[in-house]
Structure 1
């Protein structure tokens, strides 16, 4: 199962990039202030994803309403690993939880939800390995906003360029422009918790 689930990301020694899609009103504030502020709400779960192509699939390359802007949110690796350490999978898995009742109790109180979905190709087809997405709940989102963010970059122009390449049959050029992603070294103590 381990090869099927790996965290692939754009990261360096101290930070890792998460991708998120937002409407203009949220993106403009985030890029200008280099942190999220109203109308962004800390009162509801926000999902962060280290896979660029998974977000492209989800936002339909920025064509979905309310997901027109793609942001690269660079956060501290320590924050990312804190989130993973608080995470509970969105579905019961015997190896990770022991019993369905134990999973349900943990899930209902978890500040962070972890979901695995098939990784995507440039054209949106599902791949045989999974990509992680992490839902930050109200109990932890404040730390994400106030403490973990290193920088916020608007990737919308890149997304538009990639989309144009794809629309005109130039997948080769598009793939050369994709943000780099390599396998992230998930701490050994988190592997079982994350169902890896």
Structure 2
């Protein structure tokens, strides 16, 4: 059946934290405005991820060019769940779709894409369970930016602190600065469509 799949996130009653890495120009503009504004692009898909360590793996702890700044975006849970309700998996899953053609038809017109990738450890190793990332197409990006985002925080200082501790062999201390992530509740038919599995 493959790796376990569950949404793990830092969330409260109203919001869920997702993480994105950007070049300084986009991050500075967003932080100054309290929302996404140009040079952020409203015309291309943007991927949002609730796993902090997955983004650290992807951005190499904000060391990659164009990903030097890490933002924690607090998204309203109503918006996050609206995105999940529209999401179509990026690959065919026989437990979700009756046949590959049905999946292909839905994927071709999907406003939101959903992908599962191996979760990452503090040192970047793959773990035996998957982490979710959600791709918002240009058809929903304005809704995300204008209605779903509650606030934006600069997590770059935290990222740099944890990276420095890791580089100096102090993983136990680095772990104390990680955001608290726990299983996000999704049930019933939506859970099946997202291909959640224990």
Aligned to 2:37: 37
CA drift of 1:139 comes to 1.0
Rounded to whole Å, the distance in 1 between the matches of 2:11 and 2:170 is 27
Rounded to whole Å, the distance in 2 between the matches of 1:150 and 1:2 is 35
Aligned to 1:190: 190
Worse overlay, 180-189 or 53-62:
180-189
Rounded to whole Å, the distance in 1 between the matches of 2:83 and 2:121 is 27
- SS of residue paired to 1:39: coil
Alignment of 1:172-183 (within 5 A): 172-183=172-183
Asked if 1:126 is matched to 2:126, the reply is: yes
Worse overlay, 108-117 or 184-193:
184-193
CA drift of 1:189 comes to 2.5
- SS of residue paired to 1:139: coil
Residue by residue over 1:138-188, the C-alpha shift from the partner in whole angstroms, topping out at 9 and shown as x without a partner, is: 111111000011100000000000000000000000001101000000142
Residue by residue over 1:98-151, the C-alpha shift from the partner in whole angstroms, topping out at 9 and shown as x without a partner, is: 110000000010000000000000000000000000000011111100001110
Any stretches of 5+ residues in structure 2 without a counterpart? Answer: none
Q: How many residues align structurally? A: 196
- SS of residue paired to 2:96: helix
Rounded to whole Å, the distance in 1 between the matches of 2:140 and 2:85 is 12
Aligned to 1:104: 104
CA drift of 1:87 comes to 0.3
- SS of residue paired to 1:144: helix
CA drift of 1:2 comes to 9.7
Q: Counting helix residues as a fraction of each chain, which structure ranks higher? A: 1
CA drift of 1:17 comes to 0.5
